[in-house]
Amino acid sequence: MAAERLSSIVSQLTPGQKPIDTITQKNPDDVVITLAIRTPLCKAYKGGLKDTPLDGLVFKILEQVVRKSNIDPQMVEDICLGNVSDSKAAYYVRAACLAAGFPNTTAASSVNRFCSSGLKAVQDIANQIITGSIECGVAVGAEHMSTGGDRLTRPFVDDIVHSGTQDAADCLMPMGQTSENVGKDFNITREQQDLYAAESFRRAEAAQKAGWFDDEITPITVKVDGKDVTLTRDEGIRPNTTFEGLNKIRPAFPEFGDRSTGGNSSQVTDGAAAVLLMKRSKALELGQPILAKFVGATVAGLAPRIMGIGPSLAVPKILTKFGLTLDDIDVIELNEAFASMAVYCRDTMKMDYSKMNPRGGAIALGHPLGCTGARQICTGLSECRRRKAKVLLTTMCIGTGMGMAGIFVNEQLD
């Protein structure tokens, strides 16, 4: 299928053109993004969103979509929520969209592919537009980790655990253990991980001080301990974080290894993000600002015990589908689930580190599971806008052994 896709791209090229020229072309049927916003990312259990559960989070971000998009809510045909931890997510997104001002003719659903759920929601809405099912939709990613995580409440049934398929049994493996596996299997040392984490914090601190996050964050007012509080900034960034300080932190998963810590792993966080998508022709008809073009997204699988290296499979796969190389990519948002996987993916794929997570990543900002895939688009497009860069690649590892990646073309070059 990848060969067929590449052949199709090549057939569209005129003499002298490259595949990058094809994905940056503008056509009426393109799927485009006209709004990409997120809440501040807040510390779970003790931060600004601790008292705003999932339905409240989804309501707040959809309320902002209505306010900031200047679009008639009746134009939105479907809303898809990416969420990992709450089995009631489909109830919440439907009720929240109605309360936020969308009519009862706007449908809603939820989707869960662990840490890629936000990107999966974007892909779901985009694919509906591509196939003609809808012309306009909203993808949301949201997670309220203060409520609890996504751990299983029981082991798999014996037929799975004792099937003789180790990969099936390994789907029970805690994420911390998979990080330690990556560190051991690929010799990603504690020093390398702490150095990486220190740089993530440094970049995030610099970006926050420079105001780079301001245009992607939409302030929201919520109740915290019964009082109204307006949230405007990410809470997880720790000023003046150093390698020396990180190197003193005790291992977080001592039963599995001694390389991953609370300082070089992603933070437990609450947050939400939303992306408004429609056909280019519809955006022009409605006078909507076109931020970016959705090019495509794909997923790849691998052994669950080393799930963190999933991007190293998903990224080459999507680049091949569109005839691209990493040299064609201007900004890379790679989710820092753990420093172990981030270092592995960066070094194995020989990513230009100046392009990768220039504003820091989940180690410094936090990783609200279902939110991240949508949050990366908000952050990446904002950075593309700042740099006047064209092509954004987003990617993340996925629990139980997968990776996902998406490509977008920034059109905010003026």
Instruction: Pick the catalytic residue from 115, 345, 378, 384.
Output: 115
Strand 107-111 relative to strand 331-334: parallel, antiparallel, unpaired?
unpaired
Smallest Cα–Cα separation from 253: which of 313, 167, 173? 173
Name, in order, each residue with C-beta under 8 angstroms of 84's C-beta and a sequence gap of 6 or more. 112, 114, 115, 117, 143, 150, 369, 370
**Catalytic residue of the set 42, 80, 367, 371:** 367
What values do phi and psi take at 20, rounded to 5? -60, -30
CA distance 370 to 119: 9
Q: Is 115 a catalytic residue?
A: yes
Q: Is 378 a catalytic residue?
A: no
| Separation of alpha carbons 18 and 209, rounded Å | 39
The Cα 377–Cα 275 span in angstroms is: 8
Active site residues: 115, 367, 397
